[in-house]
Structure 1
Amino acid sequence: MSQINAPADFLTALESLKGHTFRHELHVTQIPPPQRIAPWAVALQAEVNDSPSLDPDFYRGNAKFVVLYDPSGQPAWDGTIRIVTYVAAPVDQAMSVDPLLGEVSWAWLVESLEDEGARYSNLTGTVTRSYNETFGGLQLSSSRTDVEIRASWTPLTVDLTDHLQAWAAYAAAVCGLGPDGVASIRPVNEEM
């Protein structure tokens, strides 16, 4: 995406996303943003993984943070900037059947935004749990339940620092990490 002729507010938003340090389990990179949703956009992705080399055995989940900017605004946004997030993580068997999984996952997002002081409006989204079975030959070789959260909101400022930090904290929580600086015990994979 070219920043040539980008509006000042979008450039300010971009600048606010630079230079952040995240906890070591969040491996954040810039990815191509979605096309045709807004005239200007930027996207980040994080793989949440305990291993510096992204060893698949230490994978905890992934997350995306997308900033959309339309100087004309869009009616559903009630503003010119919209943040869209996606977080997905495997959950253990006991959590996967908990009827409050959706409510708790959503509450963590609201808490993360509030804890970081991220001012917003029009928060909407979904929480989905999916059960996947993988077959090799004629037998079930593995099964896994994932939780996926899709959310979007309109920030009330063009400085998105608090929103980015809230997203990072939220991704860490959904992916089973304790508070930053506190070690968490990784669950042992049980064979089914």
Structure 2
Amino acid sequence: MASHSITGAQSPDFAQALRGLHAARLRPEVRLTEVPAPSRIAPYAVAMTGDVIDASDEDNELATGRFVLLHDPAAPEPWAGTWRVVTFCRAELEPELANDPMLGRVGWSWLTDSLADHGLDYTAEAGTVTRVVSESFADLSDRPATVDMEIRASWTPAGPDVGGHLEAWADLLCTIGGLPPLPDGVIALPGRRR
């Protein structure tokens, strides 16, 4: 993972954070790809996309998302710290969930539960859960309606040990993609990373 820095020099804290991201242990169904990070939000940033792939059919993408880690030693007031994780997750759901009034709360609880399951300290969390219902008409009317869930969230990790935050986000991505959680005591082997 390359880091992007407006100042051109990498901070020791950001270098430590990158090592933590490299050491993250993700489920084998998760594929990460580094992408260009935003360069105007913070002096230091790294970004990656993640896809959850069906183990029985690698052409079948179950969920997709983006994970961005920002670091600003000036500690912007809205962040309540020097670090900020900004994420996005999206997956197609069963059509009957389109009208479930609890869908948003459930989606948000998947995020907070994942962070708690990893024992992570964080603050200043914010986000939205959106359902997108797509219906096709005219020449596309033979396509069934689809429902997508999108979770946009950000939070401030307690420090530069951020590998666990990437792991929690990847677990959220697997959850919205419909994968069952790993049994207690089972640790995921590192997945193939592109």
TM class by shorter chain equals 0.7 to 0.9
Structure 1 counterpart of 2:188: none
Structure 1 counterpart of 2:13: 9
Q: Equivalent of 2:29, from 9, 25, 28?
A: 25
- Which aligned pairs between 1:127-138 and structure 2 lie closer than 5 A? 127-135=129-137, 137=139
Q: Please list every run of 5 or more consecutive structure 1 residues that lacks an aligned counterpart in the other structure.
A: 183-192
Change (3 A) 1:85 1:71: same
| Code of the aligned partner of 1:61 | A
Shift of 1:94: 2.0
Q: Equivalent of 1:90, from 85, 92, 97?
A: 92
User: Match of 1:141, SS?
Assistant: coil
Shift of 1:181: 6.0
Change (3 A) 1:11 1:136: farther
Shift of 1:35: 2.6
CA contact (8 A) 2:95 2:145 kept: no
Structure 2 counterpart of 1:180: 182
- Which aligned pairs between 1:95-174 and structure 2 lie closer than 5 A? 95-135=97-137, 137=139, 139-174=141-176
**CA offsets, 1:56-93, max 9 Å, x none?**
xx221102111011111211101111001111011102
Shift of 1:96: 2.1
CA contact (8 A) 2:4 2:46 kept: no
User: Match of 2:50, SS?
Assistant: strand
Q: Please tell me the root mean square deviation across aligned C-alpha atoms, in Å.
A: 2.0
Q: Equivalent of 1:36, from 40, 45, 64?
A: 40
Residue correspondences, number: 180
Shift of 1:180: 2.5
CA contact (8 A) 1:83 1:154 kept: yes
Distance (whole Å) between structure 1 residues aligned to residue 50 and residue 34 of structure 2: 9
Change (3 A) 1:136 1:51: farther
When the two structures are superposed, what TM-score results if normalisation uses the length of structure 2? 0.85
Distance (whole Å) between structure 2 residues aligned to residue 94 and residue 45 of structure 1: 28
Higher strand share: 1
Structure 2 counterpart of 1:62: 64
Distance (whole Å) between structure 1 residues aligned to residue 53 and residue 40 of structure 2: 31
User: Match of 2:107, SS?
Assistant: helix
Q: Please list every run of 5 or more consecutive structure 2 residues that lacks an aligned counterpart in the other structure.
A: 185-194
| Runs of 4 or more consecutive aligned structure 1 residues displaced over 4 Å after TM superposition | 1-4
| Code of the aligned partner of 2:134 | N
| Code of the aligned partner of 2:113 | E
Identical positions, percent: 39
Shift of 1:7: 1.4
| Code of the aligned partner of 1:78 | A
